[in-house]
Amino acid sequence: MSEMAERPCSVDYTHQNGIKARIDFIWGAPDDPAPSGICVTVNFANENIRLIRENTVYKSFEEAMKQGIRLAEGVIDVLFEPLD
């Protein structure tokens, strides 16, 4: 029987403009330490906006977290862009 890989909890991210996002990880096989997907949640106008990226091959948890941060930054940049 395979051992369970260590699986970090969700990551809270704060954008440079102060907006917060939560990065959750989607896990595959119990012994795989790298997530198979990510879910980024940002609260906008009292609604949770979720961006999910599944079935992705990450080499490590750190790679998945970096991608989650990039997605969070992009979503926040678009949602909270000032309207001129």
Residue range of the domain that includes 29: 11-79
- Percentage of the chain beyond pLDDT 70 is 92
Q: How confident is the model at residue 28, as a pLDDT? A: 84
Is residue 69, in this structure, part of any structural domain at all? yes
**Per-residue pLDDT at 1 exceeds 60:** no
Task: Please report whether residue 4 resides in a domain.
Answer: no
**Among 83, 69, 79, 4, CA closest to 49:** 79
Q: What residues contact 84, with CB distance under 8 A and at least 6 apart?
A: none
Q: What is the domain count for the chain? A: 1
Question: Is 19 a member of any domain?
Answer: yes
Residue 82, pLDDT above cutoff 70: yes
Q: Is the pLDDT of residue 48 over 90?
A: yes
Residue 47 has pLDDT above 60, yes or no: yes
What is the pTM (predicted TM-score) of this model? 0.84
